[in-house]
């Protein structure tokens, strides 16, 4: 194996591990509303955007669109609750509490950085 291949493989492992942790913390946040709500959110995301649950990591904007489509006017408080739960379960602080898309990007970045 070449040195470049080793570095690329290392990056894939970090991304994969970060992606799994990202989904774990997102699951925790959605669990606030029950397992059936979580299943509906993931189902709607997959059907609306033709993306799998695992692709939320790379497509937080589409995921938040799904949340907003489902919850409508109640979305703001739901997003804030989800951000607080992601902070609590991950041990990270200072995620953008006013914007779920930004908070998801920050979580992803923190997990990748932590893995390197």
- Provide CB contacts within 8 A for 73, sequence distance 6+: none
Confidence check: pLDDT of 20 > 80? yes
- Which parts of 1-116 fold into alpha helices (H)? 3-31, 35-49, 60-71, 75-90, 100-115
pLDDT at 94 over 80: yes
Give the CA-trace dihedral at 78, 81, 86, 89, to 10 degrees.
Answer: -140
Q: What are residue 22's phi and psi, to 5 degrees?
A: -55, -50
- Residue 18: pLDDT band with limits 50, 70, 90: confident
For the cut 80, the answer to whether the pLDDT of residue 34 exceeds it is: yes
pTM: 0.83
Q: 39-72: per-residue pLDDT in tens? A: 999 999 999 999 999 999 999 999 999 999 999 9
Domains and CATH numbers, the chain: 3-115 (1.10.1200.200)
| pLDDT band for position 2 (cuts 50, 70, 90) | very low
Phi, psi of 99 (to 5 degrees): -150, 110
């Amino acid at each position: 194996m070449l040195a470049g291949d080793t570095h690329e493989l290392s990056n894939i492992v970090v991304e994969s591990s970060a992606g799994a942790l990202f989904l774990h913390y997102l699951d925790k946040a959605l669990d606030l509303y029950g397992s059936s709500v979580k299943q509906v959110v993931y189902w709607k995301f997959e059907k609306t955007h033709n993306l799998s649950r695992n692709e939320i990591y790379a497509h937080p904007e589409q995921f938040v669109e799904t949340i907003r489509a489902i919850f409508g006017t109640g979305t703001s408080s739901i997003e804030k609750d989800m951000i607080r739960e992601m902070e609590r379960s991950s041990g990270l602080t200072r995620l953008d509490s006013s914007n779920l898309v930004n908070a998801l990007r920050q979580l992803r970045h923190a997990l990748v950085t932590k893995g390197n």
